[in-house]
Amino acid sequence: MTGSPMPPPCSADAPPMVDAAGWHATGAALASGERVLVALWAARDDAGARVHLATRRPNGSDLAVIALRAEDGSYPSIGRHHPGAILMERALQDASGLRAEGLPDPRPWLDHERDFAFLPAEGEGLHRIPVGPIHAGTIEPGHFRFTVNGETIVRLEARLGYTHKGTLGLMRGATPDAALRLAGRVSGDSTVAYAWAFARAVEAALGVVVPKRASVLRGVMAELERLANHAGDFGAICNDAGFPLINAHAGALRETILRQAEACFGHRLMMDRIVPGGVAADLAPASAASLLAELPSWRGRFERLVELYGKTASLQDRVVAAGRLAPDLARRLGCGGYVGRAAGQDFDARRDAPYPPYDRHAPDVPALAAGDVDARVRIRIAEIRASVALIGELLGDLPEGDIRASRPESGGEAFGCALVEGFRGDVFAAVRLRGAVVADAFLRDPSWFFWPALEASIEGNIVADFPLCNKSFNAAYSGCDL
């Protein structure tokens, strides 16, 4: 292939190899907005090192993966075409040793043993405030370096890598079932989304058709995960804006949802309930009836909080216009999920790149243009309403039958990838199988695109508003550290 970013299927013996011209052509398509970056990662085999690039069309269709040989330990940077790739290339460089030639920012990302220079900011009266990596409360570690003029933030840089755990290395040589357990632990609040994405990648590689009942149960789990996280975020954002009453009630609602998930599927987070070929836990008729009966109560409790949120002037004063992400920047960074949809990026993998059961039950999700904290809250509000409706639809369309398909033996190599809409946004998974084990795998959290968006959106806000803006993004630390 030369000069044209051809979209191959996401199941094959291996992604097609391109030359430098084909690689640059895909980079140009990303720069022009013709394609959207999904993921960038490295792999090695007996033939040497290579770099993979996954992209899609802006409307969500045509998920495609290409590969380029890194003959001399380097490859042409995609980050110089598309800023959303810069963090991935920095992490790839630390993890694999491959150099991205022309990378605008080659500083380390995961390697804390190397000297790190934060970007400079010039001007009179500027000073720096270091925060973290250890924070108050039960949250993940990350270092934030603020450059401020008085109380106004001039620049923010986030440095992560403190939860790097070698997940991808542990997957190599593992069975698909064992690797899926690792995938489900990349980011615990998204265990259903990660497990589902990885399972779908394995199923694509092996040509497994998931039973309809299992697909519907996966959808119910995913919507329960979305409900619990959005309810928790809604309360936490209000708390950081100085309104703990909503946080208390939203936290109680989240706990009710998690207890219902445990009653239905045997685990509060539904960890290890999705497996290659289907699900590991069925839904008893009594549990389904109990869940259906709970939905109106959840919706009623939540709507009372939404009413309070909207009519509290002091709360609205904090969230409206704070932490604004411009739609053009959201597009150039490739932001999805509630961050992207709050800034005009109308993409949801459930609707725009549908997979069972969403091919029959597409959610009704809006997109807004304001891009501020309030818009990110209102996208969550709309998604909570949509998830409650979806769970009702799915349970009303729950077929009888098997919950797991048999998996064929794989004698050679097979590749598969998948995109699943988690509560933060689209989660990507790719896997290369060699016989009965995983040869290579990669997982991409939507937060890769959130962190640079947060850094940009916080400029011009006051330091005291950082916790509020940060929580409205709720980017994952562990999801980017792998």
What is the model's pLDDT at position 84? 92
Domain ranges of the chain: 11-101, 167-447
**Per-residue pLDDT tens digits for 204-228:** 999 999 999 999 999 999 999 999 9
What is the model's pLDDT at position 12? 61
pLDDT under 70 in the chain at which residues?
1-12, 410
What is the model's pLDDT at position 11? 58
What is the model's pLDDT at position 410? 66
What is the model's pLDDT at position 7? 38
- Please state which architecture CATH assigns to domain 11-101: 2-Layer Sandwich (3.30)
The reported pTM is 0.94
DSSP-derived pairing of the beta strands 99-101 and 74-76: parallel
- CATH classification of 167-447 is 1.10.645.10, yes or no? yes
What is the model's pLDDT at position 1? 34
Those residues whose C-beta lies under 8 Å from the C-beta of residue 115, and which sit 6 or more positions away, are none
